[in-house]
């Protein structure tokens, strides 16, 4: 019987909030760091509507900054170790519309 372990993607495997800050700073002229992301409700941090925040995250998914976002330190090594005797499944609530970008990042 193969054991299966599920791992979340954003901020577990991918340093999502750091990459998002790099994107947001370049695109919107802010100077945010990962430490500034203190809420899931990004509209409160960015001072915009919820709809605008959703749009900005969508832009991030399709940006070069997303593609260049690094893994969380140690994540690659841990996943490699887990794969030795388990099947690893990546779990995310990302929209289906960014599946290709998500899979490309995971492949790299």
The per-residue pLDDT for range 67-98, each reduced to its tens digit, is 999 999 999 999 999 988 889 999 999 999 99
In tens, the pLDDT along 26-49 reads 999 999 999 999 999 999 999 999
Best CA proximity match to 66, nearest among 13, 15, 12:
15
d(CA 108, CA 100): 12
- Above 80 in pLDDT, residue 60? yes
Residue 5's H or E segment, with its range, is strand 3-8
Classified as helix, coil or strand, 56 is: helix
pLDDT band at residue 2 using 50, 70 and 90 as cut-offs = confident
d(CA 85, CA 55): 40
Q: Residue 84's pLDDT is what? A: 86
d(CA 69, CA 108): 11
């Amino acid at each position: 019987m193969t054991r299966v372990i599920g791992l979340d993607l954003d901020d577990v495997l991918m340093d999502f909030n750091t990459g998002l800050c790099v994107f947001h700073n370049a695109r919107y002229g802010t100077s945010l760091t990962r430490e500034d992301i203190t809420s899931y409700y990004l509209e409160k941090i960015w001072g915009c509507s919820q709809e605008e925040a959703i749009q900005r995250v969508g832009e991030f998914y399709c940006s070069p900054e997303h593609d260049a976002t690094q893994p969380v330190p140690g994540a690659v090594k841990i996943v490699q170790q887990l794969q030795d005797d388990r099947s690893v499944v990546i779990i995310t609530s990302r929209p289906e519309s960014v599946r290709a970008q998500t899979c490309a990042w995971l492949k790299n």
